[in-house]
Amino acid sequence: MSLEKFSQETVLSVHRWTNNLFSFTMTRPAHFKFSAGQFARIGIMVGEELVVRAYSVVSSPFDETLEFFSIVVPDGAFTSNLQHLQVGDQLYLEKVAYGYLTLARYQKPLPQDLWLLATGTGLAPFLSMLQDFETWKSYQQIRLVYSVRTSAELAYVDRIQDIYDTFAEGHSDFKFIPVITREPDAQLHERLPVLIANGELERVAELKMDVNTTHVMLCGNPEMVEDTKEALKAKGLIMNRRGEGNISVENYW
């Protein structure tokens, strides 16, 4: 892979949430533009080979630095090396951003209710969207649903509150809804498709999904995305095609 497509950037900070979850920030070159919800391609040198993976951007499109959220894949050629990042290390950043999981894709129905459904590191693009004032101006109701296995994996909880305090002035109809699948005592502990099918997610959210008003975005592991998509379609919601429809998805790996 040609290194000409990449700029070399410096790691500014590393935060370890759990043994297998971490986030990091890096310098942002002036030429790197992206829309909230898009992903970047980041590379590291493994021996003499540049290994590249896609990461949705946590940062606002207006931030001066770039932040990413990563899971450690055991024996993975990329994250098994990336997990040892330290401040000052160098990473390669492809010069253009990619992806269509952006709010601009929605034309009909018009913005009213926004559901952001994430598992694991699929939370990243939604944090970016929520750090854009335009999101809060466009939607009357916003629900951020974050499904993890254990409460220890609930990353960015304080950051979500900070985002709300900073960006949502005058916007009262927002709920952050955690789902913890391996803790039976949690308020919600079943998989997202089950919670949608049995109506429990809407009950806790105090908001109904409606084909005429609802936009739903999914980001996470492929099994979750596929099963949740089918559960939403069973409720009458339709896939977004050419700007029309309710459901848009991103397979995060």
8 Å CB contact between 74 and 15: no
Q: Burial code of 51-60, b = ≥16 C-beta within 10 A, e = fewer?
A: bbbebbbbbb
Nearest to 191 by CA among 127, 249, 145, 141: 145
Task: Give CA–CA dist 184/190, Å, rounded.
Answer: 8
Which residue is it, tokens 């994996």? 153
- Residue 132 has what pLDDT? 94
Question: Which domains does the chain carry?
Answer: 3-94 (2.40.30.10), 103-251 (3.40.50.80)
Q: pLDDT tens digits, residue range 72-115?
A: 877 766 766 777 889 999 999 999 999 999 999 999 999 999 99
8 Å CB contact between 28 and 10: no
Q: Residues in the chain with pLDDT < 50? A: 252
Q: What is the pTM of this model?
A: 0.95
Q: Burial code of 183-209, b = ≥16 C-beta within 10 A, e = fewer?
A: eeeeebbbbbbbbbbeeebbebbebeb
- Residue 180 has what pLDDT? 98
The residues facing 91 across adjacent strands are 9
Cα-based distances in Å from 184 to 146, 166, 189, 217: 16, 33, 6, 26
- Residue 109 has what pLDDT? 95
Task: Give CA–CA dist 214/204, Å, rounded.
Answer: 17
Task: Give CA–CA dist 75/79, Å, rounded.
Answer: 8
